[in-house]
Amino acid sequence: MWEKGIFPSRFIVYIMTISMFLLIVSYVFLLQFGNTSLIPQSVFKLILLNGTSVYLKPNVKNEQIKLPFLSSESSQVDAQIRLKNGESPCQKSSYGKKMCSSWQQNIKSCDTNQALLRVFMYDLPSEFHFGLLGWKGKSNQMWPEVNDPSRIPLYPGGLNLQHSMEYWLTLDLLSSNTPNVLRPCAAIRVKNSSQADVIFVPFFSSLSYNRHSKLRGKEKVSVNKKLQNKLVQFLTMQNEWKRFGGKDHLIVAHHPNSMLDARWKLGSAMFVLADFGRYPTEIANLEKDIITPYKHVVRTTPSADSAPFDKRPILVFFQGAIYRKDGGAIRQELYYLLKDEKDVHFAFGTIQGNGVNQARQGMATSKFCLNIAGDTPSSNRLFDAIVSHCVPVIISDKIELPFEDVIDYSEFCVYVRASDAVKKGYLLNLLRGIKRDQWTKMWEKLKEIVPHFQYQYPSQPCDAVDMIWQAVARKVPSIQFRIHRENRYRRAAQIK
Ligand SMILES: *[C@@H]1O[C@H](CO)[C@@H](O)[C@H](O)[C@H]1NC(C)=O
Ligand SMILES: *[C@@H]1O[C@H](CO)[C@@H](O)[C@H](O)[C@H]1NC(C)=O
């Protein structure tokens, strides 16, 4: 008797479990699908600006403390972040205390044994790097002389600068072998590749994309494509590449459209990227690659001049292209939700020319700055907000942030899921609920972490360049792990 009763009810339980499971699976699928629409695949056209905004400070030679100093900042900020004997701005931040002060004693004499990371750099022909800046070396001169700033070619200004880390990293490696340049001892260039932890590929791929992807004259193939093809050919022939299939190579491809052709053939290497928006996970992922900050385009607000809570009349600031393809749709939704609010600045247009200055002023007088997913999950806007000490509100579910293993962005950023942000009233209620004390804590933290997002030459302890090398150094064990695992059966096969 009981058998008859129990079987049907157990059957019903099975059916219910399976249908619940299917329901959950389809819900998750739908969510995922919804999110992928936030990853924009479309190729957008970058508006190029011509003009140089790299700031050159007068140089006093042969004095270690008065270095040749290149930066896009005003001299005021340079002075603030300059290295003084044994003192660095990042010692104030919690990350700095842990990681940066330990390098301090090494700064004056940095040799191969003290460095965190030994880097071999290919001597690529100048057409791949400084040649793109118009630099021509004397015969037999492979690289510009980096101890004399007047001989260092300048990187083009404007929006190009956002992706200029290729330039700052290369300069830093060159200066690591230049005795009178005082810099942190995170990375040092070694001439013998078998002593290197990583192999650096000095290709200015973002500049190559920005400046040379259009066909000129009778060209059939753009310079950008040509350089990428040449690079793939060169690399895959090198013993250094063959050794570990390129896994220990570091390739800078910060502009989302840079290395568009070569990325498929060089995917085993470590990439330096802005985000993963236009990459399949086989080619680029958090495990092997490094997310680095954009170089901000607005000028840094000096800490002493930074407006506190009550001096920032605008609650929420956003300026950017509002009508975007793909994922950018959320910008429009937010625009219609927020446009009639009094203390909200939500404006169209990319920032160029005088717009940069207006954006800086806007951010520096706003409490919160929106970072909404656009064509790509990331943008330089986040870093513009940080250097303006405007608390970033991140509405970009797929964003990846630089150095997140050592920096907790939730201490100075507000994250809002895209699905929440478009609920009526949600965003402003949330932000109005953040009162002066809570906001001030985030503002203080912002002022502390700004140095981590500064690119400059020479590099300073815990600035963006130093942080990138440290991030690369943290990847080295996992590269070795992958290489050793691959060796498991390969060695045995060689013995036979
Ligand atoms: C851009 O700048 C370069 C170098 O300063 C100059 O030769 C070129 O004519 C400029 N192009 C435009 C369109 O302004
Ligand atoms: C490079 O380093 C390796 C290992 O340390 C050494 O065996 C080799 O002789 C070095 N090569 C040169 C050219 O110095």
Pocket test for ligand 2, best of 190, 194, 199, 243 (most atoms within 8 A of CB): 194
Quote the ligand 1 centre to 43 CA distance (angstroms).
Answer: 25
| Integer angstrom CA distances of residue 428 from 319, 337, 424, 432 | 17, 10, 9, 6
Say yes or no to pLDDT of 402 above 70: yes
Tell me the ligand closest to 193's alpha carbon. 2
Establish whether residue 239 lines the binding site of ligand 2, counting it when its CB lies within 6 angstroms of any ligand atom: no
Burial class (CB in 10 A: 0-12, 13-18, 19+), 466: buried
Beta-carbon contacts of 336 under 8 Å, excluding residues fewer than 6 positions away, are: none
Residue 292 is predicted with a pLDDT of: 97
Whether residue 258 contacts residue 163, with contact meaning beta carbons closer than 8 Å, is answered with yes
For the stretch 12-47, pLDDT in tens is 777 888 888 787 766 655 554 443 333 232 222 222
Query: Is the C-alpha dihedral spanning 273, 274, 275, 280 positive or negative?
Result: negative
What's the mean pLDDT in 123-132?
96
Q: What is the pLDDT of residue 375?
A: 78
Residues contacting 249, CB < 8 A, separation 6+? 198, 199, 200, 201, 235, 240, 241, 266, 268, 269, 270
Q: Could you tell me the fold of the domain covering 303-453?
A: Rossmann fold (3.40.50)
* Predicted local confidence at residue 258, as pLDDT: 97
**Residue 125: cis peptide before it, omega within 30 degrees of 0:** no
**End-to-end CA separation in angstroms for the chain:** 69
Q: Which two tokens stand for residue 298?
A: 């607005």
Query: How would residue 75 be classed by pLDDT, with cut points 50, 70 and 90?
Result: very low
Residue (of 170, 350, 342) closest to 251 by Cα position: 170
191 C-alpha to ligand 2 centroid (Å): 10
For 439, residues 6+ apart whose C-beta sits below 8 A from its C-beta are 309, 367, 391
Name the strand (E) or helix (H) holding 455: none
pTM, entire model:
0.79
**What pLDDT, on a 0 to 100 scale, did the predictor assign at position 487?**
85
Average pLDDT value for the chain: 82
Does residue 366 surpass a pLDDT of 60? yes
Q: How far is the CA of 47 from the centre of ligand 1 (A)?
A: 14
Q: Give the model's confidence band at 187: pLDDT under 50 very low, under 70 low, under 90 confident, else very high.
A: very high
CA-CA distance, 74 to 494, in Å (whole number)? 59
What is the best residue among 192, 193, 199, 239 to mutate for testing ligand 2's pocket, by most ligand atoms within 8 Å of CB? 192
Ligand 2 pocket, residue 112 CB under 6 Å: no
Section 99-106 average pLDDT: 51
140 CB less than 6 Å from ligand 2? no
Give residue 144 CA to ligand 1 midpoint distance, Å: 21
Are 428 and 338 in contact, with CB atoms under 8 Å apart?
Answer: yes
Nearest atom (ligand 2) to Cα of 193: 1
Domain ranges of the chain: 6-106, 117-295+457-485, 303-453
Indicate if ligand 2 lies below 6 Å from the C-beta of 195.
yes
pLDDT digits (tens, 9 = 90+) for 235-266: 999 999 999 999 999 999 999 999 999 999 99
Kindly report, residue by residue over 308-360, the tens digit of the pLDDT: 999 999 999 998 776 656 556 888 889 889 988 999 998 876 666 677 888 89
